[in-house]
Amino acid sequence: MVVKFQVFKKSSPNSKVTIYLTKREYVDHSSHVDKVEGVVLFDPNFVQDRNVYVQMGLIFRFGREDEESMGYNFVKTLYLDTTQLYPPLKEVKTSEIQRNLINRLGNFAFAFNLEFPKLASPSYTMMRGYEDEGPLINMEYEVMGFVGVNEQDMDKWSVANLTVRRLMECPARFFDRPAPDGSITKTFLTCSGTVTIQASLNSSVYFPDEEINVKVCLKNHASREVKRLKVKVVQLSEVPMFSTNQVRDKTLMKADDLIGLAPGACTNREFVMVARVPARTATGKIFLQGKLRKDAEDQLAPSTVTHPTVSKDDIFGIYVQYAVRVKAALGPLFGDAVLDIPFTLAARPE
């Protein structure tokens, strides 16, 4: 039986260094991230008495490219997990694919293994509106092989780099969690009495485009009529490295029920919602899963699940969560009662 292995290849502009990866998508299991395995091939006549390195780069864009001015750009790049391949400093444990590549490529092919940082987020990118040009906010990784006297001596003509994607996996234990529910009782300054919202979902984990069944019980003990009941699926996002407790919420889908609930009355309602990528507007602002190809289909960014030892506030990158938001509105002069029921959005297997 003949077994075929797929590898990804990229050469430097001067064709003196070539990097090979066994895959370009790596799963973040929250407890650990798959290792990056590959091989670097180089021309010894070009290297001479210099060294050959392999390095992982973490690139975070946090602003519009067309707004950059006066030499300032909205990109932070961290170079991490650098390994010297030649002259070799240590023995590398190789996989079968790496050994097959080395046997085929010759004596100047060296294997490497790299680790993703625990404190960094998965590959996320912000959806662009039809008026936007270039990336707005995104998080991506690349693996680079290069020649230099030291780690800082990186000549762009001898750098072979491949973009890779870090995908978030929903832990299996999340699927065993009970369906979430919640309640809130709200008092108002401009009228007497309270409004109580009780709501529940039918599952704790959903996939994109999967139906979310929402049950709502609304009790109006206020002196004013509850005019409408609103239910939304919202994406909640933060960038902990820049701000603390500043959460952006963007609506993915909404339902508006003009109930006209009189004082002393109660009602039960059921809604079917879906977490899906909304239609592209003038400005996007929804976080999506990072893509390796521009023509790939847009997918919602899955919920971020951090490593057990990592605090959300320490994350370098983007933190994404989801919730069903239930709002009872008494009118503009009296205020609203708002209840959020969080759930986990899992990436659909590809």
Residue 295: what pLDDT? Answer: 78
- Delimiting residues of CATH 2.60.40.840 domain(s) in the chain: 8-168
Query: Under CATH, what is the fold of the domain 8-168?
Result: Immunoglobulin-like (2.60.40)
In one-letter notation, the amino acid at residue 258 is: L
How many CB atoms are located within 10 Å of the residue 36 CB?
A: 23
Q: What's the CATH architecture for 172-345?
A: Sandwich (2.60)
DSSP for 131-150, please give it: T--S-SEEEEEEEEEEEESS
- Delimiting residues of CATH 2.60.40.640 domain(s) in the chain: 172-345
Residue 284: what pLDDT? Answer: 62
In one-letter notation, the amino acid at residue 51 is: N
Residue 155: what pLDDT? Answer: 83
Could you tell me which residues are beta bridge partners of residue 137?
62
Block mean pLDDT (10 aa), the chain, length 350: 70 93 91 91 91 90 56 69 88 89 91 90 82 72 91 86 93 92 90 91 94 95 90 91 77 90 92 88 76 84 89 86 94 85 87
Residue 243: what pLDDT? Answer: 67
- The pTM is what? 0.88
Phi/psi for 20 (5° steps) reads -125, 130
DSSP for 162-179, please give it: EEEEEEE---GGGGGSPP
